[in-house]
Amino acid sequence: MLKILLLPYLIFECICTIVFIINVGFLWYLLEAFLSLMLGSYLVIHGGGFGLYSNMQKANFAGIFGSFGFVFSGFLLILPGILCDILAVLIIIFSVFLTKKNTPSYTNDFSADDEIIDVEIIDERPNNLK
């Protein structure tokens, strides 16, 4: 079953890669593959980890899927091919919007006319107890 599903993808991936090499050049393809390998490795190592674990403890499902999206897109970036890289970039964009949506925003609503209370503390202990 997996062979039946994977074969059309591999054929389409080869076609996209060949079209990319013809239009842009083989050296640019190698550079793209190397840079996507580096970015993918970084996302796999740093993308999930503690953020994924802390979101699981809080049962923050959107955060879990956002962190998992970074790790999954890292795996896709490690694989060579143009179609994998395009899919990985789309997943990264979706994960960024998903994690930004759940990030709480903090605002400073301080006004200049807030009343300041000045307090003076007087120590009334005898000197021999200090």
d(Cα 32, Cα 68) in Å, to the nearest integer?
A: 23
In this structure, is residue 5 part of a structural domain?
Answer: yes
What pTM does this model have?
Answer: 0.65
pLDDT tops 70 at residue 10 = yes
**Residue showing tokens 């890292």:** 74
In this structure, is residue 116 part of a structural domain?
Answer: no
102 near 62, Cβ under 8 Å?
yes
Q: Kindly report the number of other CB atoms within 10 A of residue 62's CB atom.
A: 13
Return left, alpha or beta for 85; rule: phi > 0 is left, psi -120 to 50 is alpha, else beta: alpha
pLDDT tops 80 at residue 20 = yes
pLDDT digits (tens, 9 = 90+) for 54-64: 555 565 555 55
- Give me the torsion for CA of 64, 69, 70, 72, rounded to 10°: 120
pLDDT digits (tens, 9 = 90+) for 82-105: 999 999 999 989 888 876 665 556
In this structure, is residue 90 part of a structural domain?
Answer: yes
Listed ranges 4-8, 18-22, 101-105, 120-124; the one with the highest mean pLDDT: 18-22
First-residue to last-residue Cα distance in the chain: 82
The confidence score (pLDDT) of residue 27 equals 96
The total number of structural domains in the chain stands at: 1
pLDDT tops 70 at residue 35 = yes
In this structure, is residue 59 part of a structural domain?
Answer: yes
What is the domain extent for residue 17?
1-101
45 near 5, Cβ under 8 Å?
no
